[in-house]
Structure 1
Amino acid sequence: MPRTPHRPHPLRIRAARTTLCAFGAAALAVSLTACGSGSNNPFDDHQEKSSYDDGAAAKSDRKSVPRWLPDDATDIKYVMSTTGDDRIIKLTTPDGKFPKQCVKGEPQGKPRLKADWFPSDVAAKADTNCGTWSGARIDGAFYAWQDKDVAMKARG
């Protein structure tokens, strides 16, 4: 009598496929994690960071840079969210004063973005508004942020 080839049970085949898919998914997740920004914050990859020598160059390069930024401001660092209107900026003005369009006022919203150069206590020290931006002068520099909710509300 001829031998019939052995066929694995369908449940074993399904279990093997499931295990193989799980290992594949885990390997993919590990490889994608290794390629990212190195941060655990999923929003870090949705940011653009820039530095400029002066305000004129910053405004020329990016439409999202605030128009109240003086042309002669220096040492500009800027981070913007690519998924909303959250922004942070650091600048120094030659005369040490706030930009002309800025007025004393309570902070609007809160800074949602982070950078190693942006002090974590800016919101607590904020006493100035520049349109939809809020900020404070700390150690000779002006630090400001725009909260996406404030910006959206202002647009109506």
Structure 2
Amino acid sequence: MHRPTHVSPRAARTTLCALGAAALAVSLTACGSGSSNPFDDHQEKSSYQDGAAAKSDRKSVPRWLPDDASDITYVMSTTGDDRIMKFTTPDGKFPAQCAKGEPQGKPRLKADWFPSDLAAKADTNCGTWSGARVDGALYAWQDKDVAMKARG
């Protein structure tokens, strides 16, 4: 003979809450970048074969980037004007409209391909961007405070 099992309302609520909490933990773990840095979810990362494609795809890519630049890796903040970029050019130099100068602001975004000491090496300015040539590649960043000040 089968006897129904009685579960107290308190035990049922406890079980239901535990299952709900476990489901929430699983769903939160599945979302986002998987990084422990809370700002990583406020970044967009892209790569492009050439400068023309990068500028066509994103208005935030600087217009000074040469169309024939290649191997472009780009990260932008979606909550401000912070940007970092790596690229190469046929002659290995920044474009002509860039000038030698002291760095403007500092790079706030990070990526495994972006040198952590770039601000100390920066010797070139392209509008609101600062950058340097390191091991044959060109690196540049834009600090959101510099960009906001330039807009007035």
- Do these two structures clear the TM 0.5 threshold for a shared fold by scoring above it? yes
1:152 Cα deviation after fit: 0.5
TM-score, with normalisation over the residues of structure 2? Answer: 0.84
Runs of 5+ consecutive residues of structure 1 not aligned to the other structure: 1-12
Identity of aligned pairs, percent?
Answer: 91
Cα-to-partner distance string for 1:48-67 (whole Å, 9 max, x where unaligned): 11111111111111111000
Does the 8 Å contact 1:68/1:100 carry over to 2? no
Count of matched residue pairs: 145
How does the TM-score come out when normalised to structure 1? 0.82
Q: Which runs of 4+ in 1 moved over 6 A?
A: 20-23
1:61-140 to structure 2, matched below 5 A, reads: 61-140=57-136
Q: 1:144 aligns with which of 116, 128, 140?
A: 140
1:41 is aligned, of 37, 50, 70, to 37
Q: Deviations over 1:117-145 (max 9, x none)?
A: 11111111111110000111001111000
Cα RMSD for the two superposed structures = 2.2
Contact 1:85/1:148, CA 8 A, preserved across alignment: yes
SS at the partner of 1:43? helix
Counterpart code for 2:87: L
Whichever of the two has the greater Rg, that structure is 1
Which amino acid counterpart does residue 47 of structure 2 have in structure 1? S
Deviations 1:76-105 (A, max 9, x none): 111111111000011101011211111111
